[in-house]
Amino acid sequence: MPLYEYACAECGERFERLTTARARDTRSACPSCGSEATDRVPSSFALGRPSKPASSCTNCCPGGTCGL
């Protein structure tokens, strides 16, 4: 089964869900806030950049996207 990425319209959380291609557009509850206002978004892997800034980055690179 493919892994799809989703974003919550309520809290902004991005999360992944392992699901069939047929059910990929079915809304599911956000793991952070429980809202079902979620939409499938382009994968950060497919776009070639991280979905969130690296937590250990100390402003050494633009956008905090280095691999530190």
Per domain, the residue ranges of the chain are 3-49
pLDDT of residue 39: 93
pLDDT of residue 66: 57
DSSP secondary structure code for residue 24 in this structure: T
pLDDT of residue 62: 59
Task: Indicate the fold that domain 3-49 takes in CATH.
Answer: Rubrerythrin, domain 2 (2.20.28)
pLDDT of residue 40: 92
Q: Residue 7 corresponds to which tokens in the numbers above? A: 């974003």
Amino acid at 29: A
Contact between 3 and 17 under an 8 Å Cβ cutoff? The reply is yes
pLDDT of residue 43: 79
Point out the residues of the chain with pLDDT beneath 50.
68
